[in-house]
Structure 1
Amino acid sequence: MKIGIYGQFYHEKSETHIQLILDALQKKNVEIVIEENFLSIINKHQNISPDFSNIATFKTLDSSYDLFFSIGGDGTILKSVTYVGDLGIPIVGINTGRLGFLATIQKEKITESINQILNDEYIISERSLLTISTKPLNSEFTNLNFALNEVAVNRKNTTSMIKVETEVNGKYLTSYWSDGLIVATPTGSTGYSLSCGGPVMDPSTNSIVITPIAPHNLNARPLVIPDSSTISLKVSGREESYLVSMDSRIATVKNNTTITIKRASFTVKFVQLMDNSFIKTLRKKLLWGEDKRN
């Protein structure tokens, strides 16, 4: 079995968690390949005991990997998706951060969870993505033109609102006078969209949610549509340009560019332990069902 390992940062006490991960994998004689920059971060800390001199590194992935371990929080997961792309490699999210909706393996159960995964005691949760294109063409969207959580447009360098003309399947929906607009997947519904009043959607739901950011027209509300829909946006405002984000990646786009958003042609696979579920994660992370009156 060949496993890629990736992380972005070295959190407090990260060496403890990384040590547990490497020990669990090496006991099973797994082929480990560590992302080049992450290995350099690990090497700067002297508290990890394995000898890394014989461990291979990668800059990009190929289809030879069986699993991809993402060590960190949800931000690291989003970055991991840009490595995996359409290769179909299942992602194992190990949460060493804080909230962690996507990274479902908790640091307290690293060894136990990894052993379950290596024994094939897991299921795959497939997540849809969004893809983006522009007219005229914007070179910043040519390579990584997909997002797991959301595509969002936001005002830039101004306190003035922007106007987002929105069409669905070629039919005019409305013009949002707002600070911006979010188009989110079910996976992304618990992120930026939720903080702007959008609904929580189960990842298996074949839907997209359109959520305005601080709308000035107060009758504007989040809208859930089928993920077979094609959404077109055209932004105008006092500034000559605005921002478009795809998860954590941001680009500057000129006014009156037509942005087309639709479901991507591929999905991303997440490893989910047998005793876990979206409902369980939701209840735990949002503290649902807890009596706070005392």
Structure 2
Amino acid sequence: MRTGIFYRTDYVVSAKEVYEKLKSHFDILFFKDSSENFPESVEDKTFEPQVVISVGGDGTVLRVLKKVKCPVIGVKAGRLGFFSGYLLSEIDKLIEDLKNWNFIEDKRWMLRVESHSGVFFAINDAVLQKDVSQKIVDFTVEMTDGTFYYHADGLVVSTPTGSSAYALALGGPIILPNVEAFEITPMAPQFLATRSLVIPSTEKIKITVNDPVNLVVDGDVVGKVKEVHVRKCSKVITLLRPKSYDFSTSIKEKIGYGKMFLKNGSE
């Protein structure tokens, strides 16, 4: 099986451990820092991987998912690891699962974010955020069901995947991955009643701002904008998970959401 390995620079030791265990079982096409560009395809297409393994945290997996077209497997070497299906101690299991293609194919859709700076694709979220020196900003959000106004430091538009990231930290709801909706969450709104809004994935929204703000897509600043258009994208990414994976277990383990505790304080 044609396999690639991307890793975060400071996890190169962990990545080498993964490489050493996999190289005798699979055809390793490349072993690269995730900040580097994906290798250019060759004419016979045999260089293109069938699967890519990402060693690091969620940020590493996000970068890798945007570089490749094939499924990605996350090996956790970072902190939370929402995108990671395997620990470093589970590489032998990963090898067996790869040999038998014994996975859950976890497909996630993305957002298409269009502005004068270009077209971008968000797996987690698109954030409109003012500079520290700016005063509070006026946002206007237009959609099928009307127009909403936000007087805030910023807005986060997130997919179900991103609902457990920045939006959650701002008090937004967790949206299950199979729900056809995305959410808008204000950052430090002036009015206490201003909270997250969950809208259908069929919506096409237009956001205008009274003063240019930063557009941040999946953590990367891509430019200053006064207007953006956001909608669900036809692109999907595929994460390969162990057959034992389920979303509820993941959020219980990572952030303690919905976890059962006994009266004596133990699980």
Would you call these one fold, judging by a TM-score over 0.5?
yes
Structure 1 residues 150 and 26, CA, compared in 2 at 3 Å: closer, same or farther?
Answer: same
Alpha-carbon deviations, 1:73-119, whole Å to 9, x = none?
A: 001011112202xx3x1010111001111122122212222322332
Structure 1 residues 212 and 81, CA, compared in 2 at 3 Å: closer, same or farther?
Answer: same
Q: Which residue of 1 aligns with 2:8?
A: 8
2: CA distance between counterparts of 1:61 and 1:73? 26
Q: Which residue of 2 aligns with 1:22?
A: 19
Structure 1 residues 127 and 214, CA, compared in 2 at 3 Å: closer, same or farther?
Answer: same
What's the CA shift for 1:293? Answer: 5.5
SS in 1 for 2:190: coil
1: CA distance between counterparts of 2:41 and 2:7? 14
2: CA distance between counterparts of 1:168 and 1:39? 36
What's the CA shift for 1:156? Answer: 1.3
Q: Is the 8 A contact 1:2 1:33 kept in 2?
A: no
SS in 2 for 1:218: coil
2: CA distance between counterparts of 1:116 and 1:190? 27
Structure 1 residues 277 and 117, CA, compared in 2 at 3 Å: closer, same or farther?
Answer: farther
- Letter matched to residue 204 of structure 1: N
What's the CA shift for 1:160? Answer: 2.0
What's the CA shift for 1:157? Answer: 3.8
Give 5+ residue unaligned stretches, structure 1: 41-56
- Letter matched to residue 210 of structure 1: I
Q: Which residue of 2 aligns with 1:49?
A: none
- Letter matched to residue 20 of structure 2: D
Q: Is the 8 A contact 1:127 1:268 kept in 2?
A: yes
Structure 1 residues 292 and 155, CA, compared in 2 at 3 Å: closer, same or farther?
Answer: farther
What's the CA shift for 1:273? Answer: 0.6
2: CA distance between counterparts of 1:105 and 1:91? 12
Structure 1 residues 266 and 195, CA, compared in 2 at 3 Å: closer, same or farther?
Answer: same
Q: Which residue of 2 aligns with 1:253?
A: 224
Query: What percent identity do the matched residue pairs reach?
Result: 25
What's the CA shift for 1:290? Answer: 3.3
1:131 aligns with 2:100: no
Q: Which residue of 2 aligns with 1:51?
A: none
1:178 aligns with 2:152: yes
Q: Which residue of 2 aligns with 1:161?
A: 136
SS in 1 for 2:213: strand
2: CA distance between counterparts of 1:107 and 1:292? 33
2: CA distance between counterparts of 1:125 and 1:216? 38
1:121 aligns with 2:118: no
Query: Counting strand residues as a fraction of each chain, which structure ranks higher?
Result: 2
1: CA distance between counterparts of 2:104 and 2:147? 39
* Corresponding residue pairs, total: 259
SS in 2 for 1:194: helix
What's the CA shift for 1:292? Answer: 7.9
1:242 to 209, 213, 217: 213
1: CA distance between counterparts of 2:207 and 2:8? 33
Structure 1 residues 200 and 28, CA, compared in 2 at 3 Å: closer, same or farther?
Answer: same
Superposition misfits of 4+ residues, deviation over 4 angstroms: 37-40, 60-63
Q: Is the 8 A contact 1:7 1:72 kept in 2?
A: yes
2: CA distance between counterparts of 1:201 and 1:75? 20
Give 5+ residue unaligned stretches, structure 2: none
2: CA distance between counterparts of 1:243 and 1:292? 47
1:221 aligns with 2:195: yes
Structure 1 residues 223 and 32, CA, compared in 2 at 3 Å: closer, same or farther?
Answer: same
- Letter matched to residue 32 of structure 1: L
SS in 2 for 1:70: strand
What's the CA shift for 1:129? Answer: 0.4
Q: TM-score, normalised by structure 1?
A: 0.81
2: CA distance between counterparts of 1:128 and 1:244? 20
SS in 2 for 1:10: helix
SS in 2 for 1:79: helix
